[in-house]
Chain A
Amino acid sequence: MKKLTLPLSMEERRGLRAGEGVLLSGTVYTARDAAHKRLHEMILNGEELPFDLHEACIYYVGPTPATQGRPIGSAGPTTSSRMDPYTPELIHHGLRYMIGKGRRSEEVKEAIRQYDAIYFVTVGGAGALLSHCVKKRRMVAFEDLLAEAVTELYVEDFPCYVGIDRYGNDIYDEE
C-alpha cells in the first residue's frame, strides 16, 4: 500500500485512483451527524469555525470512550452518506479529504471533482485495529456531543482505499 502524508500535494492528489490502497498519516478531525449540523449552522451565521477547514481531512467516526491511557477507544468509520447534505459546503470552505464508508451523493462527487478533493473509505467493524493507528487525540469542539464531539487526531499508517478520486471515479462502481 502507498504511504501518504496529509495534506497531499496537488500532484499526489491527481495521481490517486479509486480502488488504490493507501496508508494515511497526519492530522484528521473527527465529525459526524451532529457536528456537521453545527458546522453548517456556524457557516450560515458567519461564525468562525472551531478548526481550520483549509486543506483539512474529516474522519466520520463516533468512537467508544478511551480507556487505560489510550488516546481513543474503538474507532471505525460510520456511514458517510448521512453527511452528504453538508459536505459540498464544507468542501467549498476548504475541506479536501474525507474518510468514511459507503457511497456518496452526486453533489458530493461533483464537489470532489471541482476542488480536487479525495474521498477515502476504510473498513467498517474494524474499530479496534484502526484505533491503533491513532497516536494522539485532542478535544476541539462540541464536547457536549460526547462520541460525536469534534476532536483532532494524529494518525499513522491509517489503512484506506481511495473511494472517489478527483476525476469522479468511484470504487463502488468498479467493474
Chain B
Amino acid sequence: MGKIREIDVSELIPLIRNACREMAMEYGCDIRDAIRQARETENERARSILDLLLQNAEIATSEQIPICQDTGMIIAFASVGQDVHFTGGSFQQALQEGVRQGYHDFALRASVVADPLYDRINTKDNTPAVIHTEITEGDKVQISLMAKGFGSENKSAVAMLTPADGEKGVIRFVLDTVKKAGPNACPPFIIGVGIGGTFEACALLSKKALLRPLQEKNSDVRYAALEDRLLQEVNALGIGPQGLHGVTTALKVQIEQMPTHIAGMPCAVNICCHVCRHAKVVI
C-alpha cells in the first residue's frame, strides 16, 4: 500500500486559472501543423480561410486575445490517485474557483447559465465546470481540461447502433452527423468518436478522444485504419473550411473504444471546431 500524500486543494487554483488562459489564447501546435498541411491541397478560397486561421492564432498568442470569442464551457476529467488525501477544503470547489479566477482575470467570456430551461441567467464567471472524476492507482492528480465551444457541441450526437450495423453503421452515423453539423460548427473539425460501453460511456469516450494529440493514432491498427478512412470520407463531403467548400472538412478523426454488451454497439460523435482547446494539470 502506498503512503498517503496530502495535497492542499488551494494548490489547484492557480494551475486551473492558468490553464483557462492557455486554452483560450494558445492554439495547439498539432492543430497548426494540421492546418498548414491541409492548406497545400486546398482551393484558393479555402486556403485563404486556413491562412486567416493561422494568422488569427498568431495574433491570439502574441496579443493575448482569445482565439475565439466563445471561450467555451469547461469540462474537467480528473484522475485522482487513491493514495491522495485532499486538505484545505473541497476539491470540487477549488476546481471551480480556478475556473472563476481564470475567466475573470483573463477577460474570457462568461458563457454559462445557471438554469438550462427556465431562467437562463448567466452565472457571470463561467462556472460551474462539468467535472468527471475517476479514482486511479498512485498518489498523483491529473486533470485534463477542455474549453468546449457550443457551435460544435450542439452538433454532436449519440446513436445506439446494433452489432449488425458494424463498421458500415459507424461510418454512416459519423457522416450523417458531420453533414448536419455543416458550416455552423466552424469547420475544419476535429471529430471525436466513442464506440462501445453504454449510452453515457460512449459519449464520454468521444469527448476524451478529442484530448489526444492529432499526430497520435488509435493504438489498435483496425481502429487506426478506420480513423483514416473516416477522415477521407468526411473530407470527400466537400463541406470545407467554414462550410465554404473544399477538401478540409476535418483535420482528424479520433476514435476511442471500450467493451460493450452483447446486444449493442453505442456510438457517439463529439464534433469539435478547429478551436479544440485542452490542457493538462498534474499535481
Question: Would A174 and B245 count as touching, CB distance under 8 A?
Answer: yes
- A4-12, A50-58, A63-71 - the one binding chain B: A63-71
Contact mask for chain A residues 91-120; partner B; CB cutoff 8 A; 1 contact, 0 none: 000000000011100000000000000000
**A128-B56 in contact given A74-B66, A121-B242, A172-B183 (Cβ < 8 Å):** yes
Bound-complex Cα distance A129 to B52 (A) = 8
Asked if B65 CB lies within 8 Å of chain A CBs, one says: yes
Question: Would B243 and A64 count as touching, CB distance under 8 A?
Answer: no
Question: Would A126 and B65 count as touching, CB distance under 8 A?
Answer: no
Question: Would A128 and B59 count as touching, CB distance under 8 A?
Answer: yes
Question: Would B69 and A101 count as touching, CB distance under 8 A?
Answer: no
- A123 interface neighbour in B52, B66, B124, B184, Cβ under 8 Å: B52
Bound-complex Cα distance A130 to B55 (A) = 10
Question: Would A129 and B59 count as touching, CB distance under 8 A?
Answer: yes
Question: Would B56 and A127 count as touching, CB distance under 8 A?
Answer: yes
- B85-93, B106-114, B218-226, B248-256 - the one binding chain A: B106-114
Q: How large is the interface on B (under 10, 10 to 19, 20 to 34, 35 or more residues)?
A: 35 or more
Chain B residue at minimum C-beta to C-beta distance from A66: B107
Contact mask for chain B residues 186-223; partner A; CB cutoff 8 A; 1 contact, 0 none: 10000000000000000000000000000000000000
**A128-B65 in contact given A103-B184, A171-B244 (Cβ < 8 Å):** yes
User: Which chain B residues border A159 with CB–CB below 8 Å?
Assistant: 52
- B interface residues with partner A (beta carbon < 8 Å): 45, 48-49, 52-53, 55-57, 59-60, 63-71, 107-111, 122, 124, 149, 151, 182-184, 186, 242-245, 273-275
9 nearest A-B pairs in the assembled complex, by CB-CB distance? A124-B186, A74-B66, A129-B56, A128-B60, A128-B65, A102-B184, A126-B56, A74-B69, A65-B107
